[in-house]
Structure 1
Amino acid sequence: MPDVTSGVPSGLRERKKLRTRATLIDAAATLCEKRGYDNTTVDQIAAAADVSPRTFSRYFPTKVSVVAAITDDLDEMIAAVMERLPGEMTAYDALLAASLEVFRSRNGVESNGFRRMATLIRIINGSTSYRTAALGLRHDITEKATMRVMARRLGVPPDHRSVTLITDVWAVLFSESFAGLGLEGNDAITPEVISDRLTATVTTFRGTWTPWCSDPSADGQPHTSA
């Protein structure tokens, strides 16, 4: 039905908004990878997307929010996989299994999910300020597809404390898994590397639920009891 105030069909207007939002996200990703997050400004992102800074502010309140939105489609992919997983899996096992599936290459071709994750890793690891700024976004989860699926799996509302707690813990696991990747002297960002690192971090996290002991035969590295 046409909008009587503008004469523009509401569906067309909504598609235009979605295109503008996607253009801003892509512009932010490109600029932050090229120039670095700390050296990229809102004005530059707006200019690259061919919109005004005022228009930018209608879609995103800050620079950190548009960079965080790079993972919106990744979030949808992980949520779609989680919908198909057995309900008896723990929240963290479901998140891990879904993430590994989304990051996995198909017939030697990198997945869209991996490419999105790799972009965010490069931006975060190349920045001195993004991680701190992003902390303020961690509870803004009720509109995220993954968290809505998680809430349904748990049988609670999306804003339930259990969901926000899982979100916070999972963010820490991600951060620990991918710290330093792609930087000089560290591992390259590949589907295999990020999958192995995430799996190892979740395994260590899972082990903290059991009595902890040290194995002196393993270079002093702590191990969990069986």
Structure 2
Amino acid sequence: MTSTPPAGLRERKKARTKAAIREHAMRLFQEQGYAATTVDQIAAAADVSPSTFFRYFPTKEDVVLTDDYDPLMVAALRAQPAGLSPIEAIRRSVRELFGQLPDAQWEQERRRQQLIASVPELRMRIQQQYADSITLLAEVVAERAGRPGDDFASRVVAGAVIGAALAATRDGRTMADGATYFEDFDRALALLQAGLPVGPPEV
């Protein structure tokens, strides 16, 4: 008789396979270029079949663009106290999610963001991801406020937050610059929370 692995074991094995595919893909992209790297090469390096690759990533682009941050952000936001304002709840969630990331994870993100910035088709696809992130964040903001999922005000809040994330990127910096980016993003959220007070520069 054969037994089915427990759900927790299955999920861990799937997570390891997904991480291995992504790791080998990024290595090959760095060594021989994104355009020159094929799905078959990535699958072979990760010791999986091409069909297994496509079970985890629908396209080659997705192996770069897919990350685990959105569901973690949603979970962190849902866990915040109900009485917090939307921006304060989001600030706390961002701190919890990104404030303690190890250096190795920031380095992985740096490589990923550099690749996205250098490949036109990835830059185009990331724009759609921003729109998807706004929709997802808006739904959770509305949920916390007891509003409908398509609430306009909640979508505006979510759009402002994603805009703040983009505005925190300066001089080619991305989220991968770790603490520096994280601090700037928090400052941007603080400005939103304060109602964007913009006046003449201090002398």
Shift of 1:198: 0.9
CA contact under 8 A between 2:21 and 2:46: conserved in structure 1? yes
Q: Give the aligned length.
A: 198
CA distance in 1, matches of 2:77, 2:191: 22
Which consecutive unaligned segments of at least 5 residues does structure 1 have?
183-187, 219-226
Residues 210, 151 of structure 1: CA spacing in aligned structure 2 closer, same or farther, 3 A cutoff? closer
Letter in 2 for 1:200: R
Residues 151, 132 of structure 1: CA spacing in aligned structure 2 closer, same or farther, 3 A cutoff? same
Residues 87, 212 of structure 1: CA spacing in aligned structure 2 closer, same or farther, 3 A cutoff? same
Query: Higher helix proportion, which one?
Result: 2
Match of 1:103 among 98, 102, 109: 98
SS of 2:168's partner is helix
Residues 124, 202 of structure 1: CA spacing in aligned structure 2 closer, same or farther, 3 A cutoff? farther
Match of 2:188 among 193, 201, 220: 201
CA contact under 8 A between 2:109 and 2:176: conserved in structure 1? no
Match of 2:19 among 18, 22, 31: 22
- In structure 2, what is the equivalent of residue 89 of structure 1? 84
Match of 1:63 among 60, 65, 71: 60
CA contact under 8 A between 2:87 and 2:192: conserved in structure 1? no
- In structure 2, what is the equivalent of residue 53 of structure 1? 50
Residues 98, 139 of structure 1: CA spacing in aligned structure 2 closer, same or farther, 3 A cutoff? same
Match of 2:39 among 19, 37, 42: 42
CA distance in 2, matches of 1:195, 1:44: 35
Shift of 1:151: 5.5
CA contact under 8 A between 1:104 and 1:114: conserved in structure 2? no
Residues 149, 56 of structure 1: CA spacing in aligned structure 2 closer, same or farther, 3 A cutoff? same
Letter in 1 for 2:124: T
* CA RMSD between the two structures: 4.2
CA contact under 8 A between 1:177 and 1:194: conserved in structure 2? yes
CA distance in 2, matches of 1:171, 1:28: 28
CA contact under 8 A between 2:141 and 2:158: conserved in structure 1? no
CA distance in 2, matches of 1:86, 1:164: 20
Q: Does 1:134 align with 2:126?
A: yes
Residues 34, 170 of structure 1: CA spacing in aligned structure 2 closer, same or farther, 3 A cutoff? farther
When normalised by structure 2's length, the TM-score is 0.66
CA contact under 8 A between 1:77 and 1:113: conserved in structure 2? no
Residues 64, 96 of structure 1: CA spacing in aligned structure 2 closer, same or farther, 3 A cutoff? farther
Shift of 1:50: 1.8
Question: Percent identity at matched positions?
Answer: 26
Residues 19, 95 of structure 1: CA spacing in aligned structure 2 closer, same or farther, 3 A cutoff? same
CA distance in 2, matches of 1:84, 1:51: 37
CA distance in 2, matches of 1:42, 1:62: 8
- In structure 2, what is the equivalent of residue 222 of structure 1? none
CA distance in 1, matches of 2:33, 2:162: 22
Q: Does 1:78 align with 2:103?
A: no
CA contact under 8 A between 1:102 and 1:114: conserved in structure 2? no
Match of 2:165 among 174, 177, 187: 174
CA contact under 8 A between 2:107 and 2:176: conserved in structure 1? no
Shift of 1:21: 2.5
When normalised by structure 1's length, the TM-score is 0.61
Letter in 2 for 1:196: E
Shift of 1:194: 1.1
